Structure 1
Amino acid sequence: MANSANTSTDQPTALITGASRGLGAAVARELAPTHRLSLGARTPQALASILGELPGATGWPVELTDYAAVARAVEGIERLDVLVHNAGIADLGTIADSSVAQWRNTLEANLVAVAELTRLLLPALRAANGHVVLINSGAGLRANAGWGVYAASKFGLRAFADALRLEEPALRVTSVHPGRIDTDMQRDIVAGEGRDYEPREFLTAETVARAVRNAVQTPRDAHPTEIVLRPIAR
């Protein structure tokens, strides 16, 4: 696995997907002082900025829906303490206007790819009695109009977490359900809604990342199964 800013070989290891920007990058910053990091994104170029900021981390560029490439990318990972599933897409719209391609692409990115990466890394996670953190959404608890496709993927992700928790009792599995977060993706969503963007309406990525860090650092006598965060208007 990667070397972190603190290169002690007895540090726990962490792999974070979707780590090039936004919430994933914020989680990387939170875990960097205590973990050896591998940071995932689609391309090496996407990781250049965060790796420049966290030079002890290692890039892990792979397209998560290219399952042959993912299988090659996990070769050599024999022990993994923390797996943070942050990568995903938000393709919104009504059910009436949805397409088969939209359903397939969303479920593939937000659910199938998560399940396959987790499956491939189970031996490494078991070796460490590891922790799987799944960045879900408020849409994984309640679906709203215009969010049906996305919500279905996140409801599925929650079910995946629940099943994994039961099937792998040596692992800790945490579903994090944040409300809407101030990120570039959120700006695109709000633009699509035809509204002005007000960052104060949303959670900060740093707040959600700190919740992830707190879950990871929870003493081993406790299992943080679900974390729900909602923004407070500022």
Structure 2
Amino acid sequence: MPTALITGASRGVGAAIARQLAPTHDLLLGGRPSAELDALATELDGASTWPVELTDPDEVEAATEAISELDVLVHSAGVGGIAPVEDLSTEEWQRILAVNLIAAAEVTRLLLPALRTASGHVVFINSGAGRNARPGWGAYAASKFGLRAFADSLRGEEPDLRVTSVYPGRIDTDMQRELVAIEGDEYDPSKFLTPETVARAVVSAVTTPADAHPTEIVLRPTGRA
């Protein structure tokens, strides 16, 4: 079977993607070492954990060395944060950019030989914030706009790879609950996309026949089940 590496696989969208790709792919489940990651690997019999701190360049380089061929790379790891520009410290900028942009770029760079061997597919879980920057979302939106630019450049530079950016609206995840709490609103999961819906879009992109290149997928919640 083809091999897929999913970062941020321990929960949320990453875990949903892993569950939906499991029947058709050998899985490498990326994430910080955790009981959640181990439990998912046990649930998805045959999946392997890829326990890596994505912001540690040496650790990432060591972890990618053994991967010689890779059919699918899904970047689902990410962090959030809401604050007006005047309150954004250097440390907060560095935290968000390190995970959402720099780590994705570095993992992709190191895995390019493996992806080229398989004529592989790279999927970036971006955000609506990667297309429209709202007040208070400056650092997060900047990281996602940067991720969009990186994906577009990669697509142009690597014609034998398929590169897809997925732009979901707000998703019912633990991170979303934290953001809504910061905003001071009441949490209503019916207003958001489910992780499973986003995962289905990723699977659709990955399984698109080879004569087509699904470059962008935009999802917006409808409020209907």
TM-score by length of 1: 0.94
Contact 1:180/1:231 (<8 A) preserved = yes
Q: Which runs of 5+ in 2 are unaligned?
A: none
Is it true that 1:57 corresponds to 2:37 in the alignment?
no
What letter is aligned with 2:69? Answer: R
After superposition, give the CA deviation of every residue in 1:131-170 in whole Å (9 maximum; x if it has no partner): 0000000000000011111000000000000000000000
1:190-209 map, 5 Å: 190-209=180-199
Distance in structure 2 (CA, Å) of the matches to 1:186 and 1:207: 16
Distance in structure 2 (CA, Å) of the matches to 1:59 and 1:91: 27
Distance in structure 2 (CA, Å) of the matches to 1:121 and 1:160: 15
1:218 aligned partner: 208
2:138 aligned partner: 148
1:96-111 map, 5 Å: 96-111=86-101
Give the aligned CA root-mean-square deviation in angstroms.
0.8
Contact 1:19/1:39 (<8 A) preserved = yes
Percent identity over paired residues: 66
What letter is aligned with 2:185? Answer: R
Contact 1:14/1:82 (<8 A) preserved = yes
1:81 aligned partner: 71
What letter is aligned with 1:232? Answer: T
Distance in structure 2 (CA, Å) of the matches to 1:29 and 1:45: 17
Contact 1:135/1:176 (<8 A) preserved = yes
Contact 1:44/1:59 (<8 A) preserved = no
Distance in structure 2 (CA, Å) of the matches to 1:176 and 1:114: 14
1:120-159 map, 5 Å: 120-159=110-149
Distance in structure 1 (CA, Å) of the matches to 2:34 and 2:49: 7
1:119 aligned partner: 109
2:83 aligned partner: 93
Q: Which runs of 5+ in 1 are unaligned?
A: 1-10
Distance in structure 1 (CA, Å) of the matches to 2:134 and 2:34: 36
What letter is aligned with 1:218? Answer: T
What letter is aligned with 2:96? Answer: T
* Residues paired across the two proteins, number: 224
TM-score by length of 2: 0.98
1:48 aligned partner: 38
Distance in structure 1 (CA, Å) of the matches to 2:31 and 2:118: 24
Q: Return structure 1 stretches of 4+ with deviation > 3 angstroms.
A: none
What letter is aligned with 2:122? Answer: V
1:30 aligned partner: 20
1:12 aligned partner: 2
Distance in structure 1 (CA, Å) of the matches to 2:86 and 2:191: 29
1:8 aligned partner: none
Distance in structure 1 (CA, Å) of the matches to 2:112 and 2:65: 12
Contact 1:16/1:83 (<8 A) preserved = yes
Is it true that 1:66 corresponds to 2:50 in the alignment?
no
Contact 1:87/1:110 (<8 A) preserved = yes
Is it true that 1:232 corresponds to 2:222 in the alignment?
yes
2:164 aligned partner: 174
TM-superposed CA distance for 1:48, in Å, is 2.1
TM-superposed CA distance for 1:62, in Å, is 0.6
